[in-house]
Amino acid sequence: MPEHTVDEQLTKYLTDVHSIEEQALAQLRLAPRVAGDPELRRIFGEHLRETEEQERLVREQLERVGAKPSTVKDVAGRVGGWGMILFARVNPDTPGKLAMHAYSYEHMELAAYELLRRIADRAGNQAVRDMAQRIGAQERTMADRIAGSWDRAVDASLREKGAEDIGKDLVKYLRDAHALEAQALQLLETGPQIAGFEALAEVFRDHLDQTREHQRLVDERLAAHDSRPARFHAGAMRVGALNLGTFFKAQPDTPAKLAGFAYAFEALETGAYELLTRVARRAGDEETAAMAERIVGEERAAAERVAGTWDVAAELVLREMTVGAG
C-alpha cells in the first residue's frame, strides 16, 4: 500500500534528521572552545540549547511513528548519514573556519527539514510537518546569525597577528578557496549523472562554468602573491571531507540527499568567500576582496537555485517509494 511506504519514508527521514541533530550536538559542544569571541560563544551556546530541544522533539516523533530505538541507532551509525558526508572529518581550528562550517551545517539541516516537511505533508502527518517547519526556521535563524558575524569571526582569527602574518593567512585562504573549487568541480561534473532528475542536473551544469571561472580567478590572485595552489588538497584543507563515492551507491533517496548536500556545499563556499573578502581587505588586497565579494553572490545564487529543486526532489522520493511498493 502506498500509504504504508510513505510512512516508512517518513520514519527514515525522521531518523536522518535525528542523526543530524546528534552530530550537531557534538559539534556545538566543542564550538565554544574554538569560537574565540564572547558573542560567537554566546550564539553557539544558545543554539546548543535549541538543538537539545530539537533532538528531543525529533525523538518524540520517532517514538510516535513507532520506530524502534535499535533502528535509530543503526541508521545513526550508518556511513552516508547526511552529516557524515560533508562533515565527518571536519575539525575547525580557527573561529573563521568554525563559523564557515557551522554556516554550512545549518544549511544542511535546513535542507533536511525542508524535505522532511514536504514528505510529512504528503504523508498527512501534521505533527511532523509542524515540527519540521518550526525547527527549519530555527536553523535558518542560526545561519543568519552566523552570517551576521563574519567580521567578528575574522577579527577573532586574525587577532594578535602582524601585517606579515595576515599576508600569509591571505594566501592560506586563497588556497583553501582553490581546493574548495576543485571539490566543487568534482561535485558538478559528476552531479548530473547521479542527480536523478533534470532540474538539479541543470543547476549543476549551469554552475560548472562559473566554478571553472572562480577557480581561474583564485589562481590569478594566488599568482599575484607569488604563490600557487597547494599540491595536495587534503593537506591544504581539512574541511569538507567530500565523499561523492557515497552517492554512487545510488539509493532511492540519492537525488534528495544530493539536493540537500549541494545546498550545504554552496553555503560552505559562500562562507569561504565571506572570510576571504575580509581577510583580503585586512591585508590591503582590494582586488582579491572585490573578486571574493563577486563570487559570494554567485555561490549564494547557486544555493538558491538548488533550493528551487526541493519540491521535485521530495516528489521523486515519494514516487520511488510508491513504485517500489507496487
Q: Pick from 139, 169, 176, 285: which binds Fe ion (CB under 5 A)?
A: 139
299 part of the interface to Fe ion, by CB under 5 A: yes
Stretch that binds Fe ion, among 6-14, 53-61, 244-252, 304-312 (CB under 5 A): 53-61
161/156 Cα distance (integer angstroms): 10
Least Å distance, CB 75 to Fe ion, is 17
207/209 Cα distance (integer angstroms): 6
269 part of the interface to Fe ion, by CB under 5 A: yes
298/177 Cα distance (integer angstroms): 14
Least Å distance, CB 131 to Fe ion, is 12
Least Å distance, CB 280 to Fe ion, is 19
- Residue 115 vs 283, nearer CB to Fe ion: 115
Rounded to 5 degrees, φ, ψ at 211 are -65, -40
Decide: helix, strand or coil at residue 292.
helix
9 part of the interface to Fe ion, by CB under 5 A: no
Q: Residues with Cβ < 8 Å from 1, sequence gap 6 or more?
A: 325
Least Å distance, CB 1 to Fe ion, is 32
| Binding residue count for Fe ion, defined by CB under 5 A | 11
285 part of the interface to Fe ion, by CB under 5 A: no
49: cell is: 540549547
Least Å distance, CB 166 to Fe ion, is 26
55 part of the interface to Fe ion, by CB under 5 A: no
- Residue 105 vs 150, nearer CB to Fe ion: 105
Least Å distance, CB 130 to Fe ion, is 16
DSSP 85: H
16 part of the interface to Fe ion, by CB under 5 A: no
The 10 Å CB-count burial string (b at 16+, else e) for 53-83 is ebbebbbebbeebebeeeebeebbeeebbbb
54 part of the interface to Fe ion, by CB under 5 A: yes
Residues 154-213 that bind Fe ion (CB under 5 A): 184
Q: What is the CA 195 to chain-centroid distance, rounded?
A: 17
319: cell is: 514516487
- Residue 158 vs 242, nearer CB to Fe ion: 242
Within the chain, strands assigned E span: none
Binding stretches for Fe ion (CB under 5 A) = 21, 24, 51, 54, 106, 109, 139, 184, 269, 299, 302
